[in-house]
Amino acid sequence: MKIVILDGYTENPGDLSWDALAAFGELTVYDRTPDDDAEIAKRIGDAEIVFTNKCPIRRPVLEACPELRYISVLATGYNIVDTACAAEKGIPVSNVPTYGTAAVGQFAIALLLELCHHVAHHSEAVHRGRWEHNADWCFWDYPLIELDGKTMGIIGFGRIGQTTGRIARALGMRVLATGSRESEAGRAIADYVDLDTLLRESDVIALHCPLFPSTQGIINKDTIAKMKDGVLLINNSRGPLIVEQDLADALNSGKVAGAGLDVVSTEPIRGDNPLLTAKNCLITPHISWAPKEARQRILQISAKNLEAFLQGAPINVINGL
């Protein structure tokens, strides 16, 4: 059985092993595959199993690869696969739904703490000699923010949102939440409120919701206008949740005091993205998911996905087969 991984480098740049997948057949790993249907189809060839992270598998590829029996996404998001076409052809598509809960929640708080203290900036200032030559015994270049007693509003309160909420409560914050489904586990962490209440009362707003038509652009000039002056915004969920020009305008006016973002609308980021020049906007290159421990779980779950498919009972299937 032939197995192809189309874009393995970000999942495993060399610090993990592909052996768990190689045990199932003849494994070919490409670090990267260009976004070209003909080249993607060529690399899949007559393989029966394909793994992809962000390399798209569209209808022309599926039409050109009649031996393909199973697709597994090395991530949670699966919009890069034409799942409807795969279903038409009887090809199950699986994903990895729960590998990064702790890592992503931790990173959301890391972004928030960096906005509150600008640790990297002040460390760099010290290394440039500013403390050595300072007239006073200390200095700071940004307002420093204490989170105890403040309110965090979390939009999307599933596993990751709840993880972020638990850490926020440990910092002494009150937590508000809004989401499609309420749960007892969620009520133990946060008060569920409607979106307008969350926008109005939160000092910090964190986005942990999926990207659906109903959530695309949920942060825009109208919802920003309902927020407190000086609010902080965190997004390490999906870039298109934010209308980026509207957020840039709010940052530059001071309505939003700071934003910590690990995702943007187009990735890699384009040079004309207005957030690159906005005031007090931290942007990291979509790395919330990337601790080694989380990537190891992706490999382990992906191997289980493949094993279950080969046993005739596929798991984590997202296209109804």
Catalytic residues: 238, 267, 286
Residue from 149, 153, 120 nearest 232 by CA: 153
